[in-house]
Structure 1
């Protein structure tokens, strides 16, 4: 199940980043369409977001630094849900820009905010699962011995050297 969760989340992140990275000006416009960030910050986010999505997605697909990548990806998905909810609550009619585009809707097109929030909420659940459970046998974390072994605890859960 963890392999499925990390592959689903990683695949979506890679697709989203890949579709935006070739047109950074459109990505910047999509971020600005939310009217949440100052101009310079929105520009930096618009340029940086596709790179972050691709890197996080690749780490998750490979199963490398899985838990950290899943936590960061989950926080990113929560930020997306919050941004979409904010746009909806403020009556903005924009395209999320999640998979490219500049944030504008065609005339009469429904923004689909609820569907987007449910999709991203499902991805938050995938991230939580991937962060909570070992990454699976096919993950590089497991191959390299970086994953928790079944039956062993994290150092935070049990410190064998300090039983005083």
Structure 2
């Protein structure tokens, strides 16, 4: 009976302790602080971007409709519907990132939307359309469209990188529901 009481199956499968190289706690904490800093910047910068873009579009349906129409993708009815939806949705996405609501999911949506924006700009560039993206409200017209398209795509790729970073390593401090 005494043998059964003392028998523990976990002891049979215990791995032997192997000496690991010593890593100072200051190195680990410095690395963690740097990664947390990048995560902080990614989360709150993308929140700022989406909130700014959304605020420029809310209450500005005519300009947003014209911006969407310039891409020559959707019907006039869809242009109008999208113009009413885009601003509030961008604002909601930015507020979700700001408050820390479902960080990974909201960053995934952010990435998908940015990919769609890149597709829209790319097709306009390929088709030779001269338009302003309309991302942050009415912009000054420029005549250097290939450069503008290239800069917009590169900017959106940076935003995608920040959104993916937030998906992979979200900054959960001050998050309501990460």
Q: Where does the alignment leave 5 or more consecutive residues of structure 2 unmatched?
A: 1-37
Question: Larger % of helix: which?
Answer: 2
**Separation in structure 2 between the aligned mates of residue 64 and residue 7 of structure 1, nearest angstrom:** 12
Question: Which residue, out of 130, 135, 158, partners 2:166?
Answer: 130
Residues 22-54 of structure 1 show CA distances to partners (whole Å, capped at 9, x for unaligned) of 211111110111001122222111110001100
Structure possessing the higher radius of gyration over alpha carbons: 2
Q: Where does the alignment leave 5 or more consecutive residues of structure 1 unmatched?
A: 142-146, 148-164
Do the aligned partners of 2:39 and 2:165 also contact (CA within 8 Å) in 1? yes
**Aligned equivalent of 2:93:** 56
Count of equivalent residues: 139
**Separation in structure 2 between the aligned mates of residue 137 and residue 22 of structure 1, nearest angstrom:** 33
Do the aligned partners of 1:3 and 1:138 also contact (CA within 8 Å) in 2? no
Question: Which residue, out of 42, 56, 79, partners 1:19?
Answer: 56
Deviation beyond 6 Å, 4+ runs, structure 1: none
Q: What TM-score, normalized by structure 2, do the two folds share?
A: 0.73
TM-superposed CA distance for 1:10, in Å, is 1.2
**Separation in structure 1 between the aligned mates of residue 90 and residue 106 of structure 2, nearest angstrom:** 10
